Amino acid sequence: MSARAERTKEPPSRSPVKRAARMASLGFGVAGSYLGYLLQRSFLGEDTRKTRLAAAHTKAARRMRHEMQTLRGPAMKLGQALSVQTGVLPDEVLTELAALQREAPGMHPTLVRAQFKSSMGQLPEDIYATFDELPFAAASLGQVHRATLADGTALAVKIQYPGIGDAIAADFEWARTVSKPAQVSGHLPRVALDELERQIVAETDYVREAENLKLFHSGMASLGYVTVPEVFPKLSSSRVITMSFLEGDHLDDFLAKRPPASVRNLVGERLLELFYFQLLRMRAVHVDPHWGNYLFRDDGTIGLIDFGCVKYFDRAFVDGLEQLFLYEGSRTSIEFQRELDKRYAFTGQRITTGARKTLMRFSDQFYGRVFPPQIERENELFDFGDAAFLREYLSASRELIKTKGILTEYLFLARAEIGLYQTLHRLKARIATSRIVRKYLNRPTARRA
């Protein structure tokens, strides 16, 4: 599509993006508009991309956001996921997408009531003392409304868009068709699309999400600085979740208040700790990586919301993975390679040479650098504000995700980590990374002497 556009030098208004956007606005699914955009970018050479002005990015991003907002649900979600996962998008687009993540695309109040009643059998006013018919946020595949109980408890009520399952299937079918060239060229591997679809379908299951919330609510209770909403099961269903309302600012608003470096570092440190706590202690990671899922407060405490996408890891996988953290030897050695191969053994899958090479290179280039293993360096601060590092990291992650034969577990972790690092970058956080990881390792050798 975009290749043709390039050849025939169509005027910008006829660009695939706009055409796709227009189709999307007619209800063919926003996946189109986003993928059109993504495809076009994929075909542009690195140089051409670089010469493009930031203003042009912003314009395209705004237009895309506008088109995406007119539709609801999976398409928007797909946009979010692709935006974080692929890492091919410029910051301007990410900023616009971040706004999109929070701004309500809007089921109108009549549809909200209809949807609520079809799921709960009653209207919102029959259940809550107050219910705001206008949403305050867009959530994964739904929107969130404020409400209160008779005793004054503040609530967030998440309501799913109707007919979401079919819409997802339709959007992905279309996405697969239009992204054929990108699949062939390897810019958007099919396995990544399949994985995304699985993830998004899983997110439509609000019953499971409520269970995730419960698990994280109790599992994280020991960490004093993080709050997770409490679910009200009797006021929830497969398409409605009633939970307690969390105070806090989204990343953009938090940063707009210019928090001091000490708070930004503290928050960053906690976000990093949260990641390792989830992976190594809970063996369940909130893998929806976009920063719309965090709420920040001035005192450095964090609210964690939206538990649609949680990946549960096998104990064997996590125990094995732990052996690789703060690995003290050479990450290009045969011993390290053996450790890596073991991760695959438990799945019965054989590691491919390509996957092994990519994983080892990635580990050597990044983990060794971000997390210096030597105990005497454990107080060293890593500066996530380094833009060159983030760029390199994102491009290497993209490479990793694209590599054939990478375990699904790694795909999930890579995605979660991309979101985390981008958030840390925006916080310009300087963190004693190794000290945090070491806290959660069970290996005696890695522990503090």
Partner 1 sequence: MKQQAAKKARRRADLKESTRRNIVKAALSLFQSKGFDETTTKAIAKKAGIAEGTVFNYFPTKEDIALHFFNEELDHAIASVRRNPRLARAPLQEKLFALVYSQLEYLAPYERFIGAAVVHTLTPSSKLGPFSTSSQLLYLRYVEFVEQLMNESLPKDQSLARLWAPRAFWLFYLGVVLYWLHDTSEDKQDTLAMLDRSLTITVRLLFGASGSAKRARKRR
What are the backbone dihedrals phi and psi of residue 118, each rounded to the nearest 5 degrees, phi first? -65, -25
Rounded least distance, CB 238 to partner 1, Å: 8
Rounded least distance, CB 118 to partner 1, Å: 4
User: Residue 104, interface with partner 1 (CB under 8 A)?
Assistant: no
Which span (24-32, 33-41, 385-393, 399-407) binds partner 1, by CB under 8 A? 24-32
Residues 66-95 interacting with partner 1 (rule: CB under 8 A): 70
CB of 133 closer than 8 Å to CB of 110: no
Rounded least distance, CB 291 to partner 1, Å: 29
Which of 6, 22, 69, 109 is the binder for partner 1 (CB under 8 A)? Answer: 109
How far apart CA 285 and CA 414 sit, in angstroms, is 12
Judged by beta carbon, residue 70 or residue 244, the one nearer partner 1 is: 70
How far apart CA 43 and CA 3 sit, in angstroms, is 7
SS (H, E, C) 273-333: HHHHHHHHHHCEEECCCCHHHEEECCCCCEEECCCCCEEECCHHHHHHHHHHCCCCCCCCC
How far apart CA 271 and CA 301 sit, in angstroms, is 10
CB of 425 closer than 8 Å to CB of 391: no
* Cα first-last separation, the chain: 60
How far apart CA 21 and CA 18 sit, in angstroms, is 5
Judged by beta carbon, residue 48 or residue 118, the one nearer partner 1 is: 118
Which of 119, 153, 244, 347 is the binder for partner 1 (CB under 8 A)? Answer: 119
Which span (21-29, 48-56, 269-277, 324-332) binds partner 1, by CB under 8 A? 21-29
Rounded least distance, CB 82 to partner 1, Å: 22
Rounded least distance, CB 27 to partner 1, Å: 5
Rounded least distance, CB 96 to partner 1, Å: 20
Q: Taking the C-alpha atoms of 300, 301, 306 and 307 in order, what is their torsion angle to the nearest 10 degrees? A: 120
Which span (114-122, 195-203, 227-235, 265-273) binds partner 1, by CB under 8 A? 114-122
Per-residue DSSP letter, 72: -
Judged by beta carbon, residue 27 or residue 233, the one nearer partner 1 is: 27
User: Residue 365, interface with partner 1 (CB under 8 A)?
Assistant: no
CB of 137 closer than 8 Å to CB of 293: no
Which of 59, 108, 180, 350 is the binder for partner 1 (CB under 8 A)? Answer: 108
Rounded least distance, CB 114 to partner 1, Å: 5
Rounded least distance, CB 202 to partner 1, Å: 17
Give the x/- contact pattern for partner 1 in 266-295, rule: CB under 8 A: ------------------------------
Which span (91-99, 102-110, 212-220, 255-263) binds partner 1, by CB under 8 A? 102-110
Judged by beta carbon, residue 164 or residue 411, the one nearer partner 1 is: 164
Q: State the DSSP string of 183-205.
A: HHHTSS-HHHHHHHHHHHHHHT-
Classify strands 240-244 and 137-139 as parallel, antiparallel or unpaired.
unpaired
**106 Rama sector, left if φ>0, alpha if ψ -120 to 50, beta otherwise:** left
Which of 3, 12, 27, 369 is the binder for partner 1 (CB under 8 A)? Answer: 27
Residues 158-177 interacting with partner 1 (rule: CB under 8 A): 161-164, 166-167
User: Residue 31, interface with partner 1 (CB under 8 A)?
Assistant: no
**244 Rama sector, left if φ>0, alpha if ψ -120 to 50, beta otherwise:** beta
Residues 129-148 interacting with partner 1 (rule: CB under 8 A): 133
CB of 420 closer than 8 Å to CB of 273: no
> Interface residues with partner 1 (CB under 8 A)?
25-27, 70, 107-111, 114-115, 118-119, 133, 161-164, 166-167, 238-239
